[in-house]
Structure 1
Amino acid sequence: MHDPEWWILGKLWAYRSQTEPFIHIDSDVFLWKSLPNAVAKAPVLAQNPEYCIFGEHHADGWWYRPEIFDIRLKNMNGWLPEEWNWYTANRRELAYCCGIFGGNHVKFINHYADLALKIVTDARNQSAFSLMENKPGDCLLIEQYFLAACLEYHKQHADSNFQGLQVECLFESPEEAFSSNRSEEVGYTHLIGRAKQSQEIAERVEKRVAQDYPHQYERCLKYLKSISFLPALSELKGFRDLRSESQIAHDLSNALNLTHHAPDQHIIDGIGEIPADGTSFCTITITKHSLDGTPLTTEEHQDELFLRTTGGLIMDATGETHIRSLHLQNGQATFRLISEASPKLVTVSVFGQNPNLTKAEIQIEFI
C-alpha cells in the first residue's frame, strides 16, 4: 500500500498497461472537439510544454524542484533512472503538461511509465520519500518533468530504440492552454487547481453536457439520486411522479449565476482580485437561468436570495447599506463586496429557499 499522496500512480499504471495507441484525458479535462490530426497521429502527445528554473523553486513553477528531489534521493542512497540523471546533470528545464497524454509509440510510453513507477515504488527511495513534504507537487515532477527527460535523453542517443522520437503538443505554451479564446478555438477545458471549485465553471460545464449529451446527462442524474446525492422523486417538492427524468433534470438545473467586474489577473485560476485596503470593492451580479441558459425573468422567479461571505462586507448595489439578503428583479440583482485590509481569498455564496434552485458561489481575492 503506497502513500496516497502519490496521486499519479493510477495514471502511470494506465500508461504502462496500454498495448495500442491511446489518448488519456484527465478527469478535470473536457475535450469538446476532435484533436488536430498532427496531435492525434503523433508518436507522443501532451497538452503543452512548460518550464522550471533550476534553483528557483519558489517561482511560479514551485512544483518543479528537480535539484531538491535529486539531492534528497541521492543523499539517502536512493535510485533514479539514467534518463533522469542525464537530464538533471545537464540542468534541463523542460516539462510536458499531461492534462491530455498518449500517442502512437506505445513501447516508448510503456518504457517511460515503467521507469516513472519505479521511481515511486523502488524500496531504495522510501526512506527519502518519508521525509519529503511536497509529494503532491513532486507527482508532477515524476510524471511531467521525467517525461521530457525520457524524450530528450533518447533523442540525443543514437543507439537508443527511441532515438529521434518527437512530441506534439495541443498548445504551444501554458499561457495559450489557459487562454479562453484559444481554448475555445481548440475545444479544450482543463480545470486545474482552484478552478475545480468554481461554481460558475461547474454550472457552465453542466449546462454544456446537458445540451450536447442529454442521455448521458440523465444517466448521471439517475446515478446521483441512486447514491442519495440528489433527493428521491418522492422528496422533491412540487414534482409529480408522472414527470419525466428530463423534466426533473430541467427543473433541477434552474440555477443562479454569479459574475463580477473585478479584474482577473491570473491566467489559470480565474479568480478576480481587488486591493486589500478595506475600501475597494467589486460589484457582483446574480442572474437566474434555465438549463438552456435562458434568463428567468417572470414574476414566479423573483426569489428572495440570501448572501454569505467568508470575508469582507456585503453591501447593497450603492454601497450604503450592509445586507444579508435581496430579491431578484426581472431575474437579476447586484450587490457589492467590500475588501478587508489584509490579503485573503474569500468565497461568496448565494442561495434561496427553493430546494430545486442550485446554490451559487464565486471566489474573490483581496491582494
Structure 2
Amino acid sequence: MKEEPRIIYSLDAFPVSNNRWNQGNKFKETIYSTALSILYSHLWYQDIELYADDTAYKFLYMLPCRVTKINSNKDKVIWMKSKIDVMEKQTKPFVHLDNDVFIKKKINFDFDKVIVEQNDYELYGMYQYRVDFFNKYTQHLDHWKPDLGYAFNCGVLGFRDLELRDQFLKVFYDLEEIFIKNHNPKIAKIEPCIVLEQYNLASLLAHHNIKPTLLLWKKTLFENFQLADKMGYSHIVGQKKYRSDIVQEIENRLFKLFPYWYKEVKNALEKEGIF
C-alpha cells in the first residue's frame, strides 16, 4: 500500500489583503475559509501542515495541525507564489489543497506520480489570450506547448514523484522570469497564475507523456460537479468565494461544526480590530 501523502496548505496574506482581482481586502474571509478547510481535513488526515506568513499566522496558529511561518512575497499579481515556495520544501509525497477546498468525506489520495483536481477543457477559453502572451517568449522552452487545448485545475495538486515536482518548479520559475521581464501592466493586464501553474504543468506532463491522476475524472463540468458532490468534495473557485451568501455560509459552517476553533479564530481577529 502506498504511503499516504501529507496534506499541506499555504497562505500569504498580502494578495488577499491588497485588492487581488480588484476585490478589495478579503483577509477575514480568507482566514475563515482556510480555517474551515483545514478543520475538515483534520477529520480525515493525520499529517497536515499550514504554511502561513507572519500576518496570517497570528490568526491561525492555534489550529490543530502544524503551522509554520513563511515569508510573504508581497506580490498580488503572482499571488500563488507561496504555493510554489511550500511545495519546494517537501521531502515526501504530498497533496497541496487550496484554501477554498473543503473535504467533507475522506478521500484516499491514491496516485502514482502527480494528482490534479480536474481537466479544464470547458474553461480553456479563459487561458487562450494569456497563453498567446507567453507564446511570444517561450520558443526556447522544450516543454512548452503553444496550443495544448486544455489545462488542469490545481485546487488539488500533489506529487509522489519528487523529481517530477522539481521539474515543475523549474519550468514555473522559467515562465515567471519571462512574465516579470516582458509584462507591461500599462499596456495590458494579464492574470498570469493560471498559465504559470495550470497550463504550464499541463505542458510539462504532455511533454513527458505523463497522464496525471484526476480527482474528478468525468468529461464535463456538470458531471464533475455531481461526482464531487457524491465524494463530499467542493472547491469554490475564483471570485465566487467572495459572494456575500457564500462568505456567510462558510462562517456559519465553521461556527456550527467547529465551535471551539471558530471562537478561537474569531477572538484573534477581533483583538486586532477585524470584525
Instruction: Assess same fold via TM > 0.5.
Output: yes
Give the aligned partner of residue 18 of structure 1. Answer: 90
Deviation at 1:198, TM superposition (A): 1.8
Residue 42 to residue 197, structure 1, CA distance change in 2 (3 Å): same
Distance 2:84 2:223 in 1: 23
Amino acid paired to 2:157: F
Alpha-carbon RMSD: 2.7
1:62-98 CA-partner distances (Å, limit 9, x unpaired): 2333651234326xxxx752101xx22xx32121100
Superposed, which structure 2 residues align to 1:112-151 within 5 Å?
A: 112-121=168-177, 126-130=180-184, 133-136=188-191, 138-151=192-205
Shift in Å, 1:23: 1.0
Q: TM (normalized to structure 1)?
A: 0.49
Query: Which structure dedicates a bigger proportion of its chain to strand?
Result: 1
Q: 2:250 aligns with which of 200, 205, 208?
A: 205
Contact 2:171 2:200 in 1 (8 A): no
Q: What letter corresponds to residue 93 of structure 2 in structure 1?
A: P
Alignment of 1:101 with 2:192, yes or no, is no
Aligned to 1:46: 116
Deviation at 1:154, TM superposition (A): 1.0
- Checking the alignment, whether the CA contact within 8 Å between 1:17 and 1:110 is kept in structure 2 is no
Structure 1 runs not aligned, ≥5 long: 53-58, 156-164, 231-367
Q: How many residues align?
A: 201
Q: 1:17 to 1:100 in 2, by over 3 A?
A: same
SS at match of 2:105: coil
Matches within 5 A, 1:340-351: none
Q: What is the identity, as a one-letter code, of the residue corresponding to 2:193? A: C
CA offsets, 1:257-309, max 9 Å, x none?
xxxxxxxxxxxxxxxxxxxxxxxxxxxxxxxxxxxxxxxxxxxxxxxxxxxxx
Identify which of structures 1 and 2 has the higher relative contact order when contacts are C-alpha pairs closer than 8 Å and 6+ apart: 2
Q: Are 1:32 and 2:87 an aligned pair?
A: no
Of 221, 238, 242 in structure 2, the residue corresponding to residue 175 of structure 1 is 221
Corresponding letter in the other structure for 1:133: A
Change (3 A) 1:51 1:133: farther
2:137 counterpart residue number: 73
Is contact 1:6-1:135 (8 Å) kept? no
C-alpha distance in structure 1 between counterparts of 2:124 and 2:200, whole Å: 19
Quote the offset at 1:178 in angstroms. Answer: 6.6
Structure number having the greater helix percentage = 2
State the partner residue of 2:143.
Answer: 83
Change over 3 Å in CA distance of 1:14–1:213 after alignment to 2: same
Matches within 5 A, 1:1-367: 4-35=76-107, 37=108, 39-51=109-121, 61-65=125-129, 68-73=132-137, 81-84=141-144, 87-88=145-146, 91-121=147-177, 126-130=180-184, 133-136=188-191, 138-155=192-209, 165-172=210-217, 173=219, 175-176=221-222, 179=225, 181-230=226-275
Aligned-pair CA distance for 1:203? 2.4
Distance 1:103 1:71, change over 3 A: closer
- Residue 117 of structure 2 aligns with an amino acid whose one-letter code is Q
The structure with the larger Rg is 1
> Structure 2 vs 1, CA of residues 182 and 206 (structure 1 numbering), >3 Å: closer, same or farther?
farther
Contact 2:88/2:169 (8 A) holds in 1: yes
Aligned to 1:256: none
Q: Distance in 2 between matches of 1:202 and 1:70?
A: 35
- SS class of match (2:158): strand
Give the TM-score normalised by the residue count of structure 2: 0.64
Alpha carbons of structure 1 residues 102 and 211: separation in structure 2 relative to 1, 3 Å: same
- Check 1:134–1:193 CA distance in 2 against 1; reply closer, same or farther (3 A cut): same
Task: In structure 2, list runs of 5 or more residues that go unmatched.
Answer: 1-72
AA matched with 1:62: M
Aligned partners of 2:254 and 2:223: how far apart in 1? 21
